[in-house]
Amino acid sequence: MPIESTTERPAFERDLLGELARRWGRRVAVKKDELDLDGHFDAGMPDFPEHLVPVLDLPGAEKLDHDDRRRILAASWIAYNAKTAAIEDEVILPACRLMLTGRLPVRGDDNAVAALHQTIIDEHYHILMCHNAVGVTRRRRDLEDLEFDPKGWSVVRGLEEARAGTSGFERDLVEIAFSLAAETTISGFLSTLASAEDIQPMNRITTDLHRRDESGHAVVFRELCGSLYRGLDAPDQALFRDALVRGLTAFRAADFEPWVLVAAEGGLGIGPDDLAAWAANRPAPARDTGPLQLLLNDLGISNDLVDLTRQRKQPGDARAH
Ligand SMILES: [Fe+2]
Ligand SMILES: [Fe+2]
């Protein structure tokens, strides 16, 4: 009797990547008709929820008139998209390409390769969606000159710091772990806006379209990073876990400098230290840790990692996201 191969999946076992890759054309934003952005722009609606804008809580903000407050909300929407695009461009896309190189012991079968190419297309389209929606805001709200440094976000800096002093395989693992942190966190980041009431319809709809794609990506990354992690030896697994915790912590960390630019658009003169002092006394925002729990269970990593990211609370770890 022939010995059954243990490397091939039994036919009855579902391959989640294969199922996702096959349904891609029917479920993702890039395959749908483009949204009529101007048609969903209501000039009378605020562009961002006030309660998500930390600078509106600072001393002096109470004196802002209606127009200045609205301008700060529009600038906040632009900042939010700049951060989203930076996460895609600086953290997620490089990791997707890295997984296609064959340098890492990650799944490289046809389904895995198809899912990675699809994810790259999705993420690039998300950058375009951010760019197009922000273009309407810039034009309609007269904010043509507001720009943010893609390397200035705390999460991008966190990746730079984690990469420092590493090279070769270790560096690759750090980058993949950060992208995994991103893909398990970005849904929560987008949901805060996708589910916001009483804001600009264009902004809510665009963000919700993006969020829907990310639910598929969470599965892709769980599958691919799971295959990678299980193939590592104990020291490399420890390095991966440490980088994952650093990534999750960086995603919870507040941004300061971008909010200074946002405040200035409404004539509110503040510095990064004002925000840091304000944020130091505030609890971190509640986030849905469901995707993270699923991932950790999948990898056989203790859920203590979630607590670890809380303990690594950074100064100013609050809602200034
Ligand atoms: Fe995305
Ligand atoms: Fe994604």
Q: pLDDT truncated to tens, each residue of the chain (321 aa)?
A: 344 444 455 555 579 999 999 999 999 999 999 999 999 999 999 999 999 999 999 999 999 999 999 999 999 999 999 999 999 999 999 999 999 999 999 999 999 999 999 999 999 999 999 999 999 999 999 999 999 999 999 999 999 999 999 999 999 999 999 999 999 888 888 988 998 889 999 999 999 999 999 999 999 998 999 999 999 999 999 999 999 999 998 988 889 999 999 999 999 999 999 999 888 877 766 666 677 778 788 777 776 666 666 555 444 443 444
- 5 belongs to a structural domain: no
Distance of CA 2 from the midpoint of ligand 1 (Å): 46
d(CA 56, CA 70): 11
Please calculate the CA angle 240-242-248 and round it to the nearest 5 degrees.
Answer: 100
Distance 215 CA to ligand 1 centre (A): 10
* Residue 53 placed within a domain: no
Instruction: Considering every ligand atom shown, identify the ligand nearest to the alpha carbon of residue 96 and give its number.
Output: 2
Domain enclosing residue 195, as ranges: 65-311
Would you state the pLDDT for residue 13? Answer: 59
State in Å: Cα 295 to ligand 1 middle. 18
Residue 224's nearest CA partner among 7, 18, 9, 13 is 18
Q: How far apart are CA 75 and CA 69, in angstroms?
A: 10
* 273 exposure class (CB count in 10 Å sphere: 0-12, 13-18, 19+): exposed
pLDDT in the model for residue 310: 58
Q: Quick one: which ligand is closest to 209's CA?
A: 1
Domain assignment present for residue 21? The answer is no
15 in a domain, yes or no?
Answer: no
CA-based angle 203:207:209, to the nearest 5?
120
Taking the centre of ligand 1 as the mean of its atom positions, its distance from the CA of residue 84, in whole angstroms, is 8
Asked if residue 48 belongs to a domain, the reply is no
Q: Which ligand is nearest to the CA of 183?
A: 2
Contact by Cβ (8 Å): 215, 279:
no
Residues 6 or more apart in contact with residue 290 via CB below 8 angstroms: none
Q: In angstroms, what is the span from residue 127 Cα to ligand 1's centroid?
A: 8
User: Encoding tokens for residue 246?
Assistant: 């650093």
Number of domains in the chain: 1
* Max CA pair span of the chain: 83
Residues by chain with Cβ below 5 Å of ion ligand 2: 214, 217
Question: What pLDDT shows up at residue 6?
Answer: 44
Give domain status of residue 40, yes or no: no
Distance from Cα 285 to the centre of ligand 2, integer Å: 21
pLDDT (0 to 100) of residue 303: 66
Q: How many CA atoms lie within 13 A of 207 on its CB side?
A: 28
**What would the DSSP string read from start to end of 159-224?**
HHHHHTT--HHHHHHHHHHHHHHHHHHHHHHHHHHHT-SSS-HHHHHHHHHHHHHHHHHHHHHHHH
Is 55 part of any domain? Answer: no
Rounded Cα–Cα distance for residues 256 and 205 (Å): 27
Residue 169 within any structural domain of the chain:
yes
Residue 272 sits in a domain whose CATH number is: 1.10.620.20
The CA distances from residue 120 to 11, 30, 49, 76, 300, in Å, are 28, 11, 30, 27, 27
